[in-house]
Amino acid sequence: MPNPGLATASNVTLVLAIMTYTIAMLAYACDFMFGRLRGSAATATTGAGSAATAASAATAPEAADATAGSEFSGLSFPADPSDLSQLADLGGLGGAARGGTASATLTVESDGPAPAGVAAGGPGGPAPQVSTVGGSGYPPESAALDWSAATRSRWPAGIWLRAAFGLTCLGALLHITAILTRGLAEHRVPWGNMYEFIAAFTCAAVLVLIAASIRFRAYYMGLFVLLPVVLALAVDVLVIYTPAGSLVPALQSYWIAIHVTGMIISLGLYIFGAVVTVMYLLVARYERQAASGGKPNSGGVLSQLPGSTTLDRLAYRATLFAFPAWTFAIIAGAIWADHAWGRYWGWDPKETWSFITWVVYAAYLHARATAGWRGRRAAYVQLFGFACLMFNLIGINLWITGLHSYAGLS
């Protein structure tokens, strides 16, 4: 018998989480708005600083010659090349330069993410590159995702970004509490129907966002990841809501905790990767317009995102982690099917589309690893895989009847 008090507490906490995510989105938007103003001021300051540096270099040619052939000659950083003590303080960068076989260019900004399509020379230039492979303009897959990790903290900078990230973490805490109280109210794992499953995988997507923000300084993705999360949760609460209750007999097995958990983890990663891929396509288009000398159609937010290469790698990493979890979930589901129905695979609609999704994502990863597919071609393949995933999640549950019709929808 479900506990009505805990079920009500779960519902209220989930609504509070949605409200917190919404406020966090507004804070992220404010950071983009005021960050653009900071970026404009920083550009003007950089122009004045460049003139002063040129004058200083003209008065100290001997010191410049002493460092011209050093290991730091390929690096751009806010240190005076004529001051050898400052160069010595950046010895860690020198080690990184010695470790590579190709020349590298490192641009360090003072605050905010590197604007897409803006190089050290000013707006409209190509995005800063770490190193290139075969002249393709792409850094190697082993390159760090954080373009400024050498000198910047992993924690957010600026009052709006700190507030947004703090609200995101608070919302995630409320979200987890809502899921846990739902499970306690039902005395089972809280993902036995569509309502609970959506609440679970959207929570996983937010946790992936938090982890990527800290690890790769991907705070710029907060607004774009929270938008589909809030929309999905709103539909979940207003349209798909299912009262707390017991599992249907077919789901009363310990395998639900194994199989569905793998699905939840992989879905959170896939959602994050798909959102990053969409932003990659928009930023790549913005960069092509800027490189061609034309005026980009939109540059307010896109100009403050990192280069398309960074976004492409970040989306690839998310899919790279999601694919093993998805594979494990399919294998666990096959074992559960053998226990429940006496066969491992029966080409049920849910099983079929899970396999189709697996094949598409496997093709994407294989093309990236062997054929060297990157850029828009790989992005389209990844988004096609995500479309198959969404059809498997939504279309199968709504329109097709099969052995996996446990969504709780009428």
Residue extents of the structural domains in the chain: 4-33+164-399
* 229 neighbors 202 (Cβ within 8 angstroms): yes
Beta strands in 48-183 (DSSP E): 118-119, 122-123
pTM over 0.95: no
147 close to 306: Cβ distance less than 8 angstroms:
yes
For range 386-398, the mean pLDDT = 90
Phi and psi torsions of 400, nearest 5°: -120, 135
pLDDT of residue 318: 97
In the chain, what is the straight-line distance between the N-terminal and C-terminal CA atoms, in Å? Answer: 22
Q: Tell me which residue of 172, 356, 201, 345 sits closest to 263, measured CA to CA.
A: 201
Whether the pLDDT of residue 128 is over 60: the answer is no
Write out the two tokens for 61.
């040619």
* pLDDT, tens only, 303-320: 889 999 999 999 999 999
What single DSSP character describes residue 304? G
Q: For the chain, give the percent of residues with pLDDT over 90.
A: 51
Q: What is the pLDDT of residue 11?
A: 97
Q: What is the pLDDT of residues 163-199, one digit of tens each?
A: 999 999 999 999 999 999 999 999 999 998 999 999 9
Question: What whole-number distance in Å separates Cα of residue 370 and Cα of residue 357?
Answer: 20
In degrees and rounded to multiples of 5, residue 170 shows phi and psi of: -65, -45
| Residue 362 backbone class (left: φ over 0; alpha: ψ -120 to 50; beta: rest) | alpha
pLDDT tens sequence across 276-307: 999 999 999 999 988 887 666 656 788 889 99
